[in-house]
């Protein structure tokens, strides 16, 4: 596995701006996939057996997903570059895991358009700003027709309401992806997306959904216990710092995490 963040390619920028999402196959090793997948299954089946600080989809073995080299370069490009070498320029503000067996569906189509304020998508002068960005880690294979997340390409920039006949499952405007276990899908929360029924009877869909925002804006209320954050490496902790830019009284930029600088 690479240890240095992988820059976003020109092709990825083009596709992300065009469609609102990109898929990167095989980002995790088989051992990493197994470790995270086992952790997610334990969260479902025997959560109390875990150390309290590991009872989350962003702790324990899943902690590596937060700032994995495959996604850091993308998030720097679409949300903000690092404040300094010890502090990310973006924040993680929401995380959940999902285990979906055959016959189980997810969320109805939602999102689309420019109406979410500072979290809206825009691109000017060849610079992307995806104010709220979701990163999905697929921990089992997703094959054609299985039921991976659906996206309506381009709807993150739409200027008209989605017609009723397309704002539902079955619309030909949606597309999805196929990928091996350990792949990652990164999308703007402004794109219309949905969780269709999972159809694979051989294995469930197991995924971790982490959400990121610019360091100066917050959409979700995370309320993550401080001890969970403090168990992380120093730079990773900065993903959970408070939502402010500069303290003029102390001449202190917001480039650190501490017990009294935690995003709620």
Query: Could you report the per-residue pLDDT of 9-67, keeping only the tens digit for each?
Result: 999 999 999 999 999 999 999 999 999 999 999 999 999 999 999 999 999 999 999 99
The two structure tokens encoding residue 188: 């703007």
Q: What is the pLDDT of residue 135?
A: 98
Assign 110 to helix, strand or coil. Answer: strand
Q: What average pLDDT is seen over the chain?
A: 95
Tell me the pLDDT band of 3, cut-offs 50, 70 and 90.
confident
Assign 111 to helix, strand or coil. Answer: coil
Q: What is the pLDDT of residue 223?
A: 84
- For residues 262 and 256, give the distance between their C-alpha atoms in angstroms, rounded to a whole number: 10
- The pTM of the full predicted model, rounded to 2 decimals, is 0.96
* Rounded average pLDDT over 115-144: 92
1 has pLDDT over 50: no
Q: What is the pLDDT of residue 2?
A: 45
Identify any residues that bridge with 98 across adjacent strands, giving them in sequence order. Answer: 207
User: Which pairs count as long-range contacts for 103-107, CB under 8 Å and 24+ apart, including other chains?
Assistant: 103/197, 103/198, 104/197, 104/198, 105/147, 105/195, 105/196, 105/197, 105/198, 106/149, 106/194, 106/195, 106/196, 107/194, 107/195
Identify any residues that bridge with 134 across adjacent strands, giving them in sequence order. Answer: 187, 211
Angle between helices 69-78 and 10-19 in degrees, nearest 10 = 60
- In the chain, where the domains are located: 10-224
Q: Tell me what percent of the residues of the chain surpass a pLDDT of 90.
A: 93
Q: Please, are residues 211 and 116 in contact by the beta-carbon 8 Å criterion?
A: no
Terminus-to-terminus CA distance in the chain, angstroms?
32
CATH number of 10-224: 2.60.120.620
DSSP string, 33-98: HHHHHHHHHHHHH-GGGS-GGG-STTSGGGGGGTT-HHHHHHHHHHT---SBTTB-SEEEEEEEEE
How far is CA 248 from each of CA 213, 244, 251, rounded to the nearest angstrom?
Answer: 23, 11, 5
The two structure tokens encoding residue 167: 């704002």
C-alpha of 234 from chain center: 21
26 exposure class (CB count in 10 Å sphere: 0-12, 13-18, 19+) = middle
């Amino acid at each position: 596995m690479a240890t240095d963040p992988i820059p976003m390619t020109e092709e990825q920028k083009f596709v992300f701006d065009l469609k609102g999402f990109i898929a990167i196959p095989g980002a995790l090793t088989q051992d990493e996939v197994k470790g995270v997948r086992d952790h997610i299954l334990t969260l479902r089946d025997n959560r109390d057996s875990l150390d309290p600080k590991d009872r989350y989809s962003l702790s324990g073995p899943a902690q590596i997903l937060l700032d994995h080299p495959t996604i850091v370069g993308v998030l720097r490009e679409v949300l903000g570059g690092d404040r300094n070498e010890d502090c990310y320029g973006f924040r993680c503000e929401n995380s959940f895991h999902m285990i979906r067996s055959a016959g189980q569906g997810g969320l109805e189509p939602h999102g689309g358009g420019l109406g979410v304020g500072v979290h809206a998508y825009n691109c000017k002068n060849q610079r992307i700003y995806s104010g709220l960005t979701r990163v999905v880690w697929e921990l089992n294979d997703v094959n054609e027709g299985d039921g991976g997340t659906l996206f309506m390409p381009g709807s993150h920039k739409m200027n008209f309401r989605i017609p009723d006949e397309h704002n539902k499952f079955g619309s030909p405007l949606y597309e999805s992806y196929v990928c091996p276990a350990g792949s990652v899908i990164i999308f703007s929360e402004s794109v219309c997306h949905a969780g269709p029924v999972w159809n694979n009877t051989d294995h469930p869909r197991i995924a971790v959904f982490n959400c990121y925002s610019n360091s100066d804006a917050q959409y979700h209320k995370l309320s993550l216990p401080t001890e969970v954050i403090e168990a992380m490496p120093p730079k990773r902790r900065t993903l959970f710092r408070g939502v402010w830019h500069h303290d003029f009284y102390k001449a202190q930029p917001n480039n650190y995490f501490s017990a009294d600088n935690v995003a709620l």
